[in-house]
Structure 1
Amino acid sequence: MSLKFRLIIINFLQFFIWGAYLTSIGGYMYATLHFKGEEIGTVFLTLGIASIFMPPLLGIISDRWVNAERLLGITHIVGAIALYYASTVTTPSKMFWAMLFVCMTYMPTISLNNTVSYHILKNNGLEPQKYFPPIRVWGTVGFIAAMWLTDLFHWTLTGTQLSFAAVSALITGLYCFTLPPCKPDNKDGRTLAEAFGIEALKLFKIPRMAIFFIFSMFLGAALQITNQWGVPFVDHFKFDPVFANTMGVKYPNILISISQISETAFIVTIPFFLRRYGIKTVMLMSMFAWFLRFGLFGIGDPGGGLIFLVLSMIVYGMAFDFFNISGSLFIEREAPATIRGSAQGLFMMMTNGIGAMIGSFGSGWLVQHYTQGANTDWKTIWFIFAAYALIIGILFMLIFRYKHVPYKTQNLPAH
């Protein structure tokens, strides 16, 4: 088995686990367990909480003491136990602690998976910047595959999705122990301050960087909104006889998965847009794409309005990629080399940590506010989310000062 194929397998499995439940657990809690909006929002807070401290902690352990591939395997096996326990829980308080345990084991594996892939590629004389992106694409394929299987087996609104994820995590954990060793590099071990991005706080003294990080937090909240409420929204149409038998209602995860397919397509356009228009325009495109994402949800339905839902899924690719990936590249370019790693850690903390927590709790409160008995005013909710995205887009356009200098095309010698 070739080295690249082995890395494709681990990246596929890494995100297969997440795809089994991330977009559908909100619907399970909302439609089956009958949790209130704020209770669901509180459960989704666990992703943000875990993202703040677990990736840096396990990153330090892999840098100094334990082989990264072994730590990745151990964490996934423990995560399998956490996921299985979560599948048995039916109350909001127990689900909070169960999912906190799940997120504490899963969130650090995303960066550990990258570390393992980079380490193995470098040890075999392969440049990660060239060889990793096409390998990483298979992670998105794994995410989509799990979403489809969860839907086709009708596990979207049952706890079986978590059991399915648990089995996937166990298989992934065992597979990790077959990978080439990724020994710690003690000479280059990060300090706690570097790992948590604390040293990068000095970047807040630079106005454009401070504005960038603050708006990154706002966009992190937008991402959590769509992860949390996409399936519950589509599922609610099953109570309307007009839409009950439509494909979108029967297979909501497959409909939502168009978003991930779009994501893979927009990734390849990022270099062009960054070179041509610069980070400010690209991030503005992301913000207005979020506006369209939410607004199209507000006017769409699985019947005659299906086209609007599909368009919402398509613009998600731009909304996600033009913010997450472009933002990371902006930091790589603008942050001083001595604190670049810390700056990336701060970016993740602002988006997947603080931003996700704001999006989780805030959206949960809003959904509960517009729910009366069994009826939720989804149209108003999505329009409020759309207004949120539009406002932060307008503010960013007015406040963020950044002059882009387009790259000049160089004449390359003929070969």
Structure 2
Amino acid sequence: MNTSIRIKLSSMMFLEFFIWGTWFVTLGTFLSQNLGATGLEMANVFSTQSWGAIIAPFIIGLIADKYFNAERILGVLHLVGAFLMYQLYNAPNVGVFYPYVLAYMILYMPTLSLANSVSFRQLKNPEKEFSAIRVWGTIGWIVAGLAISYVFKWDEGEGLLRNTFMMAAIASLVLGLFSFTLPKTPPIKSETTGKRSVSEILGLDAIRLLSNKNFLVFFVSSVLICIPLAFYYQNANLFLTEIGLENPTGKMTIGQFSEAFFLLLLPVFFSRFGFKQTIMVGMLAWAVRYLLFAYGNAGELAYMLILGIALHGICYDFFFVSGQIYTDAKAGERYKSSAQGLITLATYGVGQLIGFWVAGFVSEHYKNNPTNDPFWQNVWLVPAGIAAVVLFLFMLFFKNEKKEPQATGQ
């Protein structure tokens, strides 16, 4: 791969995740402070990510895989996304905001797979080369958070978070136009396997893997652990802002640095301790993180909040990345693609859809039924408890296997 193509692919990844990180991290704070959204209204808005994840396979599988070049669809989706982001910038209330964000997420979620497709088709050795391209996505997310907190200081002023949607609109416009300069990525027409079926696209071909008890336990655990994950996405920035932590959006980028760091450690941990212990450490990290949030503060105990943010690498890598490796090993050659699709649908789709609604219900409950304990302490103890229960059930029912799947280091 020549240098020009590498720069183009890296720039594409940077902008892809810069756009998402620009507005999604501070969304909960914006909805609460700018639009006066209730907990259930916030859950409704955040759930659009899950609906996008559920609908995305249809767009990718039924359109991109069959009829059009991936880079062209990527460009069109981001150009339309720029228009929708501008509408979100102007939305006066949640009622106007919701249909635009729903349309946006249905169009944005497929771009994640499209960006990967464009990259993989240009790489001669994806296992070795892709990480160097994908890391620019993490850098894009980090730059977005640092810009909001330390350059523009939008998370410090009243009403300034609205500008995040304008910045996302401009970046989406740039990526939309830039996508048409990316390497040509036409649909693959296989003479041996033919077109992928709808059931394969949605991961339904891999449902038979659930007949394996261990995979069933892992599958159910994956859905349930997404409930605590949804609490973080929906409430973390609002929580840090309300308790007065300085530059909350910038400090949340520590989670992305942590994610990159622990991704490098994962193969070592995986090969030494095996899948079960690795994924249990990930579950434990979720419970510990929320206990730190529950009892930390923006003063002398601020280190507890920073540590909770830094645990993101263990929370995400040790559970979700380990799970992808395990799924790949259990599926076999025939069902690799379908199995990953099934797990993605279950976690980012169904699991987080449930999680966002649980998070909204819990927030609304404690607002309407206050206790002697602080509001946020009550809220964070719920996902901490859920993660602990999932950990216990997984430890009890998942049996160690003689042959452990091997981490590739990708």
Question: How far apart are 1:91 and its partner, in Å?
Answer: 2.4
Question: How far apart are 1:225 and its partner, in Å?
Answer: 1.4
Question: How far apart are 1:302 and its partner, in Å?
Answer: 1.7
Q: 2:359 corresponds to which residue?
A: 363
Q: 1:373 to 1:217 in 2, by over 3 A?
A: closer
Q: 1:222 corresponds to which residue?
A: 228
Contact 2:228–2:384 under 8 Å retained in 1: no
Contact 1:279–1:404 under 8 Å retained in 2: no
After alignment, is 156-165 or 13-22 more displaced? 156-165
Matched letter for residue 322 of structure 1: F
Q: 1:175 corresponds to which residue?
A: 178
The ranges of structure 1 where at least 4 consecutive aligned residues each deviate by more than 6 angstroms after the TM superposition are: 373-376
Question: How far apart are 1:136 and its partner, in Å?
Answer: 0.6
2:391 is the counterpart of 1:389 = no
Contact 1:288–1:389 under 8 Å retained in 2: yes
Question: How far apart are 1:374 and its partner, in Å?
Answer: 11
Q: 1:353 corresponds to which residue?
A: 349
Question: How far apart are 1:356 and its partner, in Å?
Answer: 0.9
Residues 47-69 of structure 1 deviation map (CA, whole Å, 9 limit, x = unaligned)? 11110122342233222110111
Contact 1:59–1:112 under 8 Å retained in 2: no
Of 261, 265, 287, the residue aligned with 2:261 is 265
Equivalents in 2 of 1:331, 1:374: separation in Å? 43
Q: 1:306 to 1:133 in 2, by over 3 A?
A: same
Q: 1:66 corresponds to which residue?
A: 68
Aligned residues: 394
Q: 2:284 corresponds to which residue?
A: 288
Contact 2:228–2:387 under 8 Å retained in 1: yes
Question: How far apart are 1:280 and its partner, in Å?
Answer: 1.2
Q: 1:186 corresponds to which residue?
A: 189
Question: How far apart are 1:407 and its partner, in Å?
Answer: 8.7
Matched letter for residue 353 of structure 2: M
Q: 1:184 to 1:387 in 2, by over 3 A?
A: same
2:153 is the counterpart of 1:154 = yes
Contact 1:55–1:107 under 8 Å retained in 2: no
Q: 1:117 corresponds to which residue?
A: 119
Of 325, 330, 334, the residue aligned with 1:334 is 330
Q: 1:175 to 1:373 in 2, by over 3 A?
A: farther
Residues 250-272 of structure 1 deviation map (CA, whole Å, 9 limit, x = unaligned)? x1101111111111101101111
Question: How far apart are 1:223 and its partner, in Å?
Answer: 1.9
Of 395, 398, 401, the residue aligned with 2:399 is 401
Q: 1:310 to 1:119 in 2, by over 3 A?
A: same
Question: How far apart are 1:372 and its partner, in Å?
Answer: 4.7
The answer for unaligned runs of 5 or more in structure 2 is none
SS at match of 1:64: coil
Matched letter for residue 381 of structure 2: F
Of 101, 104, 107, the residue aligned with 1:102 is 104
Contact 1:216–1:350 under 8 Å retained in 2: yes
Equivalents in 2 of 1:277, 1:85: separation in Å? 49
Contact 1:43–1:99 under 8 Å retained in 2: yes
Residues 152-209 of structure 1 deviation map (CA, whole Å, 9 limit, x = unaligned)? 3133452211111111111111111111101111225311111011111111221111
SS at match of 2:356: helix
SS at match of 1:90: coil
Contact 2:275–2:405 under 8 Å retained in 1: no
Question: How far apart are 1:221 and its partner, in Å?
Answer: 2.3
Residues 207-229 of structure 1 deviation map (CA, whole Å, 9 limit, x = unaligned)? 11111111111122222211110
SS at match of 1:221: helix
Equivalents in 1 of 2:113, 2:378: separation in Å? 37
1:128-147 alignment, distance < 5 Å: 128-147=126-145
Q: 1:47 corresponds to which residue?
A: 49
Equivalents in 1 of 2:350, 2:82: separation in Å? 26
Question: How far apart are 1:403 and its partner, in Å?
Answer: 1.9
Matched letter for residue 134 of structure 1: A
The answer for unaligned runs of 5 or more in structure 1 is 239-247, 409-415
Q: 1:404 to 1:312 in 2, by over 3 A?
A: farther
Equivalents in 1 of 2:108, 2:369: separation in Å? 35
Contact 2:224–2:351 under 8 Å retained in 1: yes
Identity %: 32
SS at match of 2:121: helix
Q: 2:271 corresponds to which residue?
A: 275
Equivalents in 1 of 2:256, 2:209: separation in Å? 32
Equivalents in 1 of 2:154, 2:105: separation in Å? 21
Residues 326-376 of structure 1 deviation map (CA, whole Å, 9 limit, x = unaligned)? 111111111132121111000001110001101111001101111159997
SS at match of 2:13: helix
Contact 1:219–1:287 under 8 Å retained in 2: yes
